[in-house]
Structure formats: C-alpha cells, structure tokens
Structure 1
Amino acid sequence: MTVGFESAIGSHVGMVRSNNQDSAFAGTYLYLVADGMGGHAGGDVASALATKTLASLDLEPVDSAPATAEVLRKAVLGANRRLRETVGDRPELAGMGTTFTGFLTVGDQLALAHIGDSRLYLLRDDTLSQVTRDHTFVQRLVDSGKITEEEAKTHPRRSVLMRVLGDVDSSPDIDTEVLDTRPGDVWLLCSDGLCGYVEDVDIERILRRRTTLQGAVDDLIDKSLAHGAPDNVTVVLVETTPEAAPVLEPNPRFVGSAANAPSPRDGSVSTARTRLLNRRRPVRKPPQVEESHFEPRVDEYLAELIAETKRRNRRRRFLWLFGAVAVLIAIGGALFFGYQWTQSRYFVGTDGETVIIYRGIQQDLGSISMHSVAEDTGITLDTLDGLERRQVERTLGAGSLEEAREIVLRIGGDDG
C-alpha cells in the first residue's frame, strides 16, 4: 500500500520551568521527541545534541522496516556515544541525559526506537492507545502489580528513569519495534510535559475533534498550560494519508532547545495566548516538579522503592482505617445521642382499647420501635367522645411524663 505522511510540531517551556530542555524534529521520514535531564547543567544540551545528531537520518530509508529499525537503534547508540564524548570534553555537563522516542517511515510501516519516558500514542478509529512503555521505576512497580496506574500518576518517584541516553551508560538498551500504519492513523509523539499532566481521555478528545494537525498540536499544548504546565511540553503529530505527497523540498523542523531560531511555540517568543495565560492564574495549581534523573543502582533502588511503597501503603491503610473508625464512632455517637433524645419525649396514644402514655417517638426506625409503654391509664376508648378519641388515635405529643399525665387528666376529667 502506498501511503503518505503529514506532520505538525510544537514545544513550549511551560509555566514553571525557566528553560526548555525538550527538543523535537519533524522531517520527511524521521519524527522524534527528546526530553533532556540534568537541569541547567545540560538537559537542553543533551536533547538538542541527540536530536541534531539523529536528524541526519532523515533520508530515504532502506526498503526493509526491520533493517531500518536496526539502523535507527545503532544511530541512537551513536548519539549516546556523542553525548558521552561531549561530557568528556565539558566535565561541567556530567550527569546530563535525554530520553528519545522516534520513528522512521518505511512505506506503510514505522521503524520505532524508544528509551526513557517520552511516549508514542496511536489514534486509530477514534480510539487512543499508548504504544511505548515508560522506562521508569514507577512503571516497573505498575507492571509487577505493586501499584496501580492511577497511583503511578501521583507517585513521588515517577520521574526517576531506569534508562536514558547520556554519560550514565555506554550501551543502553533501546526498545525497537516495527509498526504497521494505514490511512487515517494519527501518531502522537510527546514529552511527559503533556502525558504526565493531561489525561489520555482529554488527549483523545482533542485529536478526535481536530480540524488541522497544527491546530491539534496547539490545543494539546494549551491543555497542558491550562493544567499549570509545570514541565516543558513538546508535541509531534504525524497523520498517515492515503497517497504519498511528492517530496519537493526537504523542510526539516526543529523545536525546543534544538531549534536554530526561537519558535512562537517554544516559549521564547510570547504570543497573545501565552501572554494571556501568563497574566491569569492557571486553572489548576501546578504540582511541584521533581527533576527527572537516571538512577544507576537498579536492583538496590528498586528494593528501596518497593520498601518505600509498602510503607506508603501501610500509612494509607492506617489513615483509611482511622478515618473509617472515626466515621463509625461519629455515626454511633449520633445514633446514641439521637436515641437518648427520643427517650426524653412522650406521647399519648392508644393500643386500640385503652389510652396509653408512651415514652419515645411515634416513628419507627425500620423494624426497630422507637417507643415503649410508660403507663397504661386504664381509660378505655369507649368512654371518650368523638373528638377526644380522634385526638388520642392521632396521638398527642408531650415534652415530659408530667405533661403527658396532664393531657390524660384533661381527657379523663371531662368524662368524670
């Protein structure tokens, strides 16, 4: 099948960060996102260097998608070597690193390479699915069933990476995969500044309602801004079209720290939309952002994380138990004092034959009677006139036993 590809790209520094450590590229065949780490020490350098190094692959790919995937994997490892060499020349950049998620198009297939926690999504038949798996310790806990996906979204260690490019590993493990595509597919590459703060259901809704790809990119970034945009946010959208458009002139586009010139969407140039968002308070208070970092002590750190998670779960269970007990005590107390109050009330009624003074209230709580006989007056209903009998049958309330007796005396006195 002959297919083509259309793309759109954008990046924003966000509402909290002071610099954009994300980079992205959209070319003719290559599309990628890289999210740098290392703060001011070089996260922006790492993502830009990796992106520009790999952009040289934006050439006519080889015929075989599996072979192209291997080419891409080796190129990513080559970018990793370049990062390590850069740190060797500039020791002040030690500790810098970057994620990488990108693919090369080969006919109606994609050759994917992935490392870190940037993501690739697919919108097919109006349904969004996540293609890549995050290389984070928290994702490892999810995969092992120790925490849920919902708990992972707010876990305090969700930014700790198990795999990245940089000077931390000379030969990192790169995930590769060959994916089939068909007309109508929309592929979303993004940094965790989007997927970490915008729910998948909102991403799907924006993509389904798109009128243009670039409009959808802007809407996704603006959705992150509406959530406070605590991190850099970068988006690349690629749509598979029925026919391949003729390649007239290569038009490679860089955004983020890899851009040769500031883009209106990279946060360096203020647009009307970003000026408005900077003036007003975000819709949601942005959470504190933990710098992403690589943890080389995999087994040791994972053991610490599991122990910490068990402690958090114990604390959570204790708080839930404490809350449940407190609620039960409050309910029990309310029932006890409520019942005590009902037993301070009286009413004059009948058992069908005689006039009775009851203690409590006439209403019952389900099958539980809320009243009992206080005194049987011995006055029969037959001795009462019509009005008095109807009053007794409807009951006459009293605030005390003495008051109830006075009511009975009035009724009996009329007869006497």
Structure 2
Amino acid sequence: MAIVTASAAVSHVGKVRSNNQDSGFAGETLFAVADGMGGHAGGDVASALALKRLAEIDGPYGSAVDAEFALQEAIVAANAVLTEAVYEHPELTGMGTTLSALVRVGHSVALAHIGDSRVYRLRDDVLTQITVDHTFVQRLVDSGRITAEEAKTHPRRSVLMRVLGDVDAAPEVDLQVMDTRPGDRWMLCSDGLSGVVEHDDIAAILRNTITPKDAANALVRASLDHGAPDNVTVVVVDVHQSFETPEVEPVTVGSAARPIAFEQPAGRRSSRIPGLRLHPRNPTSEPSHFEPESDDYLDELIEEDRRRSRRRKVTWLVGTLVVLALIAGGLYAGYRWTQTRFYVGESQGTVAIFQGVQQGVGPLQLSHVYQLTDIAVDDLPAYTRRQVENTISTDSAAAAQQVVERLSTSAGSGAGDSGGSTATPTPTPTGTPAPSPEPTP
C-alpha cells in the first residue's frame, strides 16, 4: 500500500481587513501558507509572489533531503523575486511575507519556516506545534522575560524578526526533516487562526472532524466566531495508506488565487538589491506586521519593553493606592455619618443612650454607649420594655434624651405588669369580729 495524502485549503479575509493578504496552497506533495505584510502597499502581492514561486516545486521527490533542498532554493528565489519587485515598484517598499511549507516524501516530510505562520501535527489525538515563531515576543518568552500568556496580549506581538522581503538578501529559514505516518494530520495556518483561537480548541476541531475540508472550514469558522481581526488561512493535510494513488488537483487560495495587482515593465529587470533599512508601516495602510532592521533595533525594543513594564507597574501601584484611598475615604465618611445617629437601648440591665447605628460590619460595631441612665429595664411596663430591648432609633442626642424622659415617667408602673395576679382581701360584715388567725405550729 502507498502512503498518500488528502488535503484542503481555505482562506478568509476576516471581519476587519478589507483585503486578503494571505495565500495558501495544497498540491500533490507541497503544502504552504504565506501571510503578507505591508497593508495595501503590497502585503497581498508579497504572499502571492512568494507562493506562486514556491508552487513551482510541487511534485515527487526521491528523498526528503532532496525536498528540503528544493524548498531552500525555492524560498531564496522567492525572496529575490520580492526584492526585485520592490526595486521595480518603489510603492511596494516595505512589503514582505511569512512562509510555512512542507513537502511529503513517503514516510517523511521536509519543513521550511520563516515568520509567525505555523505548522502543527496531530498524532494520536495530541496536537503539537512544530514550528517556532520568529517574533519579538517569542524571543522574550525564550529568554524568560515574559510568559507565553503575557505574549498573547503584548503590544509588540506583531513584530517579526524574520520575513521574506526586501529587508534581507539572505533570510534565515528554519529547515528540518521529520517522520510522518498514516493517521497523522498536519495543519498549516496564518496567525489569523493561531493568534485568535486557543490551542486546545484547535486540537478539538482537528480531532473531531473527519475530512480535511471540514476541518479547515471549522477552523476558519472558529476564527470568525472570535472576531477574526486578521485574514485567516488554513491548510489541512491527512496522511494515510491506500492501494491507489489518487490524482490531485492543486488548490490555491487567498491572494495567490487572484492575478497579481501589477505587471513588471519589460526591460527593467535587474539583480540590484536596494540597501537594507527599516521600513515603517505606511500610516495610511491597514495594521500589519513589520520587521526590525538589526540586532540594535532588537535591543532597543527590549529596552522599550522594560520601560513599558516599569510604567505598567507604577501605573498599577498608583491605581491601587488611589482605589484603596477612595475605599478608605468612603468607609470613613460612612462611619462619620453613623456617629450622627442615636438610639435608646439596654446596657447591663439599664436604659442607655447609644451613639451610632445598631448594625455592625463583621466584628466591628458601629455604636457605643453615649449615656447611661438609672432606669432599670425591669421597672418598665412590658410593652415599653420590649421597645427598649429592640432599640428605639432617634435622629439626635436631644431626641434620645426626650425618649429617656418619657421612659423615666413610666418606669414605676412596670411592677404590676409582670404577668402574675394580686389578691384582693374579702370584706367582712359590720360588728362581726374577724376570725383570729390560727396559730402557726
């Protein structure tokens, strides 16, 4: 039985961008994703030119090493095409593209990678990221300056350290050969997917969808469900065994599927390479990736990141202190208000005037005895005694004093209201002596 592949490629402009700068390719043995940078100035042109040049090497190879060499040569050639395009069309200055590609040869795959597009492998239901992003924040993660979670929201997460384009005549490309086997599912994507959808969610979709086409569509839908702030391109490749080798019709998606937006004038082709420099993003273009010029620029970014981290810590500290001050001020104002209130209640068996309110905050009591009286609670009538036990609220100390005065006048009438009965002697007839009491033994 032969080792064959089934594949699918899907690309979507997303919900924010106005044009698609991604390109994807699924062929006989070659599978690739490119993510252009440069906005309307040429991001779509860059990814399309690079992928069209790379697609020329799609076909059978004698070994994975041969395929790896072909990938390297094709990527160098693609970079030269981009450099020449910028030279002949200065309006494209600053354009570039990421590129992630694999070529399957029997039980092996040759991989090539530059930028922040990614290659994943699902094997035995475990999804593994094969490539490493060539980004500024990935360097910070690798050096231990920030965590992987912090990298997701870092303001420099779109800074690319390596791309194809007119910034480097000899870009450094990651190349490797890996094994593959029936049952493996490979997935290539732009950061419009990996930067939006969580790793576990990607794994669940790849595990639970049967065909590559369904998987690719489901992954794009997941990005759209999360807002899809960037173009999203996905290529899914299944490796399996078959008695027949099916004919494969190459599929190109994204900007590479459309005609290139410019035509190179005849007679102006040149091998001249412009001086390397940092190309800032066109302020009128859409937000996009950009790449640094040299290690000095990286050091500058790292120092800027440190300054930003210090500012963030100071801002957080000041904000915390302000919030604590506001909370403390609110609590103090609330406590001061409670001390303008008074109520009459019981303290150690006597009537007392309390300053504050009856409620407390946890173990903290918001009232204290303001004035003790000599009125015993037990001397009060039953109804009045219950009022005192339940407390009588007033608006001021003077009002509380008036309540005490009223209680004082009723204090002597409480003895006969204890709930018992008092016997009344029976009158005897006139002239009849009352019987003498019997002596007590």
TM-score interval (norm. to shorter): 0.7 to 0.9
SS of 1:187's equivalent in the other structure is strand
Counterpart position of 2:391: 395
Q: Quickly say closer, same or farther: Cα 1:365–1:45, change in 2 above 3 A.
A: closer
Root mean square deviation, CA, Å: 2.8
SS of 2:169's equivalent in the other structure is coil
C-alpha distance in structure 2 between counterparts of 1:253 and 1:260, whole Å = 12
2:341 matched to 1:345?
Answer: yes
2:200 matched to 1:204?
Answer: no
2:310 matched to 1:314?
Answer: yes
Offset at 1:329?
A: 1.4
Offset at 1:342?
A: 1.5
* Alignment counterpart, residue 256 of structure 2, candidates 253, 258, 275: 258
Counterpart position of 1:329: 325
Q: Quickly say closer, same or farther: Cα 1:43–1:372, change in 2 above 3 A.
A: closer
SS of 1:363's equivalent in the other structure is strand
8 Å Cα contact 1:4/1:245 also seen in 2: no
8 Å Cα contact 2:40/2:286 also seen in 1: no
C-alpha distance in structure 2 between counterparts of 1:145 and 1:381, whole Å = 72
Aligned ranges 1:15-54 → 2 under 5 Å: 15-54=15-54
TM-score by length of 2: 0.79
Structure of greater Rg = 2
2:126 matched to 1:130?
Answer: no
Q: Which moved more, 1:179-188 or 1:343-352?
A: 179-188
1:349 partner amino acid: G
Q: Deviations over 1:74-130 (max 9, x none)?
A: 332233334445555656544433211011112233221101111112334444332
Q: Quickly say closer, same or farther: Cα 1:194–1:296, change in 2 above 3 A.
A: same
8 Å Cα contact 2:381/2:410 also seen in 1: no
C-alpha distance in structure 2 between counterparts of 1:77 and 1:331, whole Å = 62
SS of 1:176's equivalent in the other structure is strand
C-alpha distance in structure 2 between counterparts of 1:41 and 1:415, whole Å = 95
2:311 matched to 1:295?
Answer: no
2:7 matched to 1:7?
Answer: yes
SS of 1:234's equivalent in the other structure is strand
SS of 1:369's equivalent in the other structure is strand
Aligned-residue identity in percent: 54
Offset at 1:9?
A: 0.5
Offset at 1:192?
A: 2.0
SS of 2:145's equivalent in the other structure is coil
Counterpart position of 1:375: 371
Q: Deviations over 1:228-259 (max 9, x none)?
A: 44433211111233x13622434111122322
Count of aligned pairs between the two proteins: 388
8 Å Cα contact 2:67/2:110 also seen in 1: yes
2:348 partner amino acid: G
8 Å Cα contact 1:30/1:58 also seen in 2: yes
8 Å Cα contact 1:231/1:289 also seen in 2: no
Q: Deviations over 1:313-371 (max 9, x none)?
A: 22322321222112111211121111112111222222232211111123333333322
8 Å Cα contact 1:11/1:256 also seen in 2: yes
1:247 partner amino acid: T
Q: Quickly say closer, same or farther: Cα 1:6–1:84, change in 2 above 3 A.
A: same
1:97 partner amino acid: G
Offset at 1:67?
A: 5.0
8 Å Cα contact 2:39/2:286 also seen in 1: no
SS of 2:364's equivalent in the other structure is coil
1:115 partner amino acid: I
SS of 2:328's equivalent in the other structure is helix
Q: Quickly say closer, same or farther: Cα 1:334–1:54, change in 2 above 3 A.
A: same
C-alpha distance in structure 2 between counterparts of 1:188 and 1:40, whole Å = 28
